[in-house]
């Protein structure tokens, strides 16, 4: 299996280059149409976001409050902890058990990059200076290619 999913106790982050928090509306619209499940967690409350929902839970996020957007493709969950500057999701490498999970990750990278029309990159956990970390997997929508190290 690809080094990207070697279990080492840290998260893997998926970021979309050159985005900021104004890109979330576009991403949410796209994920609503393509994800197998979207769940919004705010405090102790959780609710699924349906394909036909017009509500934008991100717009209701108050200052100093944290929420999580859970996105499922296939059997794999991806999480965005909001607010965050730019588009960033996390996943646990120990959740990636087989080829079907790898397919889920590649599909998510593709959909996220497509939503923003910018490269989507899987790296090791991006605590700081994530642009200096080598990408493990990159999806580039302008060429429709996925590369990995």
* pLDDT tens sequence across 68-119: 999 999 999 999 988 788 899 998 888 888 999 999 999 999 999 999 999 9
Band (11; pLDDT cuts 50, 70, 90)? low
The pTM score is 0.84
What separation in angstroms does the CA of 29 have from each of 34, 82, 95?
Answer: 9, 16, 26
Report, as an integer, the average pLDDT of 46-68.
83
Band (5; pLDDT cuts 50, 70, 90)? very low
Most distant CA pair in the chain: distance in Å?
A: 42
* Cβ count near 144 (within 10 Å): 10
- Judge contact between 2 and 136, C-beta under 8 A: yes
For position 107, what pLDDT does the model report?
Answer: 96
For position 22, what pLDDT does the model report?
Answer: 85
Residue 64: left (phi > 0), alpha (psi -120 to 50), or beta? left
Beta-strand ranges (E) seen in the chain are 12-16, 37-42, 45-48, 67-73, 76-82, 87-91, 120-124, 137-140, 145-148
């Amino acid at each position: 299996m690809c080094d990207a999913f070697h279990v080492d106790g840290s998260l893997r982050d998926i970021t979309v280059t050159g985005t900021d928090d104004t890109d979330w509306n576009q991403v949410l619209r796209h994920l609503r149409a393509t994800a197998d499940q979207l769940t919004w967690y705010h405090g102790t409350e959780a609710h699924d976001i349906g394909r036909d929902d017009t509500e934008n839970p991100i717009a209701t996020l108050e200052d100093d409050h944290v929420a999580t957007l859970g996105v499922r493709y296939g059997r794999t969950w991806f999480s965005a902890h909001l607010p965050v500057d730019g588009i960033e999701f996390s996943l646990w490498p120990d959740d990636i058990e087989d080829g079907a999970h790898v397919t889920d990750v590649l599909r998510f990278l593709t959909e996220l990059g497509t939503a923003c029309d910018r490269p989507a990159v899987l790296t090791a956990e991006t605590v700081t200076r994530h642009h200096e970390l080598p990408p493990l997997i990159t999806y580039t929508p302008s060429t429709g290619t996925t590369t990995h190290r």
